[in-house]
Structure 1
């Protein structure tokens, strides 16, 4: 299942420019790259739609040059094509492409010329200022037409590195055709909403940079997934402990424990305050149960555990902070969630001092703000914020959301592309914590465990769809795991 990291790399605008420059320096003319890009975009359009009328909006730079090439290849296939230019070609490659377009070039119609399909080749990802003039008027006039718009590279007006609007108007597309690799705008939630479906066209570039920002899918971690050996037994598959809250707050921890068991941990124990033993016992079957009254007793019970979850409905306050400190001394890989995060909101550095590099913090944006005040607001996008948080904390940070970002202190960062709106339900984060800890208990490196847990979590939600509640998620994991197992043993040719 393993594929080269380059196939999953997400490249910034600057990295893509460097890859283009490296290709031209190595002898590939810029016009050859443009021809490949425009031809590939035309093919992507033809694969999705039958022949129909199309208007192509061309800007003065290389994005506009791609548009002229798209126009030429679509017309060759018999499509009725109208080209509208915002301005005369300004870059050498755009002039080259425009000269090879034998049809008429009309001024840009800011009121949207009628057609069955429109192609936005105005600016792409390189734009660093808000749209203005006729381009802004056109973007506003095109609101509501996203179902029949194709964007080349990124919708004009959307920042390539953040996915955010540059201010004012921005285009929205049903399909975005980009080249070589996805950019952050194609994977972050705001950008994904503007881009629609994303098609990546190979134009023969090589990757540049460290390649430490990648898409999160099984090709990233599948080869290291902790499948049991033929002679496995429960103790060999890892011990996981989960800390329960008091009697009136026990369900969240049970969700985590059940998730850890479903994901493959061999022995899962719910560590319960004495007052919550009866209610927990009434709801547990394969998950074991043990009482603790003090943080020292908690540490003793967790001493042989490979991983631990603390936070789901654990209670905010000094007791949870002491319990986390006790678990940190055991050497178990910690998944720190919910109340355990908020218990250190007054002193985040005290939490970070207790953590190791193989621990995982799993905040939603509100909890992230409590631990890293102002970081999400100061950062231009979630990727940079998660990376900086992991650096400060010295541990793995999983920033939850429709575009969940997983960052390690060494800079490795992955972005989930399979996020599901059905996960917006109480308790789903508790299940995620259990999935991650269950994988870590089986010996999976914690960054991989966080990535795999997040991807499987989202796949489970997509399998169920509407009506999902958190209790459904652990029971859906076996279906996703079976698919992974089958792909491992019977890979596609």
Structure 2
């Protein structure tokens, strides 16, 4: 599987901390590690400029007191504000060890950095009126905001917003990532994300942040068939399938065939076009992977083409229009299929497979379990899940990907990676990395054709 970091829900994080305590680590030591680790990041950012620390009544506030003490010892100007006194033993001890003045209100305080330590992962309802007013006042009077663990008004497990959320310059995750660090809409407010080590034991299984999965150059004795042959099935709109095929030609496979319903007017010289009737074209035993959906259409003819592709029993990427036609009975018993829905397509799939409403993460996990499909739910937050329980959130790429045709490019890359022999989860993660790398390298205001042109350099950068 791709190299990854664990992402822990609130209950899992508490259990991991409790395990440390049960193994002999004092809770005050955990708070010291968290507060000092976060303080080191704030100190670098502040560079001697004034820092205001806004502390809540729980252990997140306790982390703030530790942070303030460490910064003050380094010579940084620090002001601590707490609307309420500490309520936990660990937070009270941290406040006592801080030993400096604590202001009950913001008054005319202003500065360069506001460090927000109100509730972290412990918040499950909107801030009360007084606390919200204090936070708003402080945010308005500081140039940058840094959240300790999570910004206020964020649900840690779902990424939902409980109330107004200030956009952070930096969010410092304590111990492990939480789902909200990477899931929309919360993720768009996180700013630079850094993780602070507190000594958690290695965590296996569960939700992951997929970081990297290096690509390989072809073997010295490779030829076009050993590298894999991809079949891209066309439909009513030939341009989308052609775009996907162009992407597949740069995704690592050795041979790409376009199986069109109607031949595009202009086709790259290196792309093979097979105009035989689809059942005969699919009889080629050399196909290592197929892609169906881009430009397929949604009528009876498209449904017939989709059925023929699935009957060919090859590893297959199902994308775009094909997702609107897909029914549960069509994929029963198949573990070699990858679906690539955007949010609207994900909603349709969940309705057809009986998946109840919930967060994106919960729906993707449930869909993969119920259907047996590998699901790459793309968007500003991309979730990858498989029927064996593997689930990961992929780091965000660039919002410039929000343009027509980029999904076709991703689907072509994924089919190409499948054709090389990569397992569905690995193929999806690798394709997403190439796609993101090409998008970042393309700069601004490009279209899908420009994204395809950037693929060879993106692939080379990931070797």
Q: TM-score, normalised by structure 1?
A: 0.89
Is residue 262–residue 475 contact of structure 1 (8 Å, CA) maintained in 2?
A: no
- Are 2:205 and 1:211 equivalent residues in the alignment? yes
**What is the alpha-carbon distance in structure 1 between the residues aligned to residue 240 and residue 414 of structure 2?**
15
Match of 1:489?
A: none
Match of 1:466?
A: 444
- Are 2:24 and 1:24 equivalent residues in the alignment? no
Summarize the Cα distance change of 1:391–1:83 in structure 2 as closer, same or farther, 3 Å threshold.
same
- Are 2:147 and 1:151 equivalent residues in the alignment? yes
Is residue 376–residue 385 contact of structure 1 (8 Å, CA) maintained in 2?
A: no
Is residue 125–residue 153 contact of structure 1 (8 Å, CA) maintained in 2?
A: yes
**What is the alpha-carbon distance in structure 1 between the residues aligned to residue 61 and residue 443 of structure 2?**
40
Summarize the Cα distance change of 1:20–1:146 in structure 2 as closer, same or farther, 3 Å threshold.
farther
1:416-455 matches, within 5 Å, as: 416-455=394-433
- Are 2:9 and 1:15 equivalent residues in the alignment? no
- Are 2:313 and 1:331 equivalent residues in the alignment? yes
Match of 2:342?
A: 364
User: What secondary structure is seen at the aligned counterpart in 1 of 2:35?
Assistant: helix
Q: Which runs of 5 or more residues in structure 2 are unaligned?
A: none
- Are 2:286 and 1:296 equivalent residues in the alignment? no
1:322 CA displacement: 2.0
- Are 2:334 and 1:351 equivalent residues in the alignment? no
Is residue 110–residue 141 contact of structure 2 (8 Å, CA) maintained in 1?
A: no
- Are 2:221 and 1:231 equivalent residues in the alignment? yes
Q: TM-score, normalised by structure 2?
A: 0.95
User: What secondary structure is seen at the aligned counterpart in 2 of 1:431?
Assistant: helix
Match of 1:187?
A: 182
1:36-51 matches, within 5 Å, as: 36-51=33-48
**What is the alpha-carbon distance in structure 1 between the residues aligned to residue 2 and residue 330 of structure 2?**
35
Match of 1:265?
A: 253
Is residue 379–residue 385 contact of structure 1 (8 Å, CA) maintained in 2?
A: yes
1:172 CA displacement: 3.1
**What is the alpha-carbon distance in structure 1 between the residues aligned to residue 139 and residue 43 of structure 2?**
24
Match of 2:293?
A: 311
Q: Which runs of 5 or more residues in structure 1 are unaligned?
A: 486-493
Is residue 239–residue 268 contact of structure 1 (8 Å, CA) maintained in 2?
A: yes
Summarize the Cα distance change of 1:147–1:448 in structure 2 as closer, same or farther, 3 Å threshold.
farther
Summarize the Cα distance change of 1:321–1:89 in structure 2 as closer, same or farther, 3 Å threshold.
same
1:41-190 matches, within 5 Å, as: 41-109=38-106, 113-142=109-138, 147-166=143-162, 168-190=163-185
**What is the alpha-carbon distance in structure 2 between the residues aligned to residue 352 and residue 145 of structure 1?**
56
